[in-house]
Amino acid sequence: MNFNSRIKKIKFLFLMENNLNHARNTICLDKNTKNELIEKYNIKEEKIKIINGFFPKNETKREENHVEVNIKNKFLIKNDFIIYSG
């Protein structure tokens, strides 16, 4: 990310690390992000879960009916969560 000042960058990194370390679980979409979180923020591997991505790997025909999925119910998430874009 691009920051205007060094103080904003330090504040962002502190809050990110603090929130990730105090989270009950962290959800990632791929193994690379999981490894980055473990190395960069020293998060225990047991606290990180990998879920399948939301987009299919192969192009498929879309149906006209649009179905919305509640991610909190689908993956049994009890609390709000942070999306970390690695």
List C-alpha distances in Å: 38 to 1, 41, 59: 20, 6, 32
Whole-model pTM: value is: 0.55
Does the structure show a pLDDT above 70 at 70? yes
Give the HSE-up count for residue 2: Cα atoms under 13 Å, Cβ half-sphere: 0
% of the chain at pLDDT higher than 90 = 21
CA–CA distance, 70 with 86 (Å, rounded to integer): 23
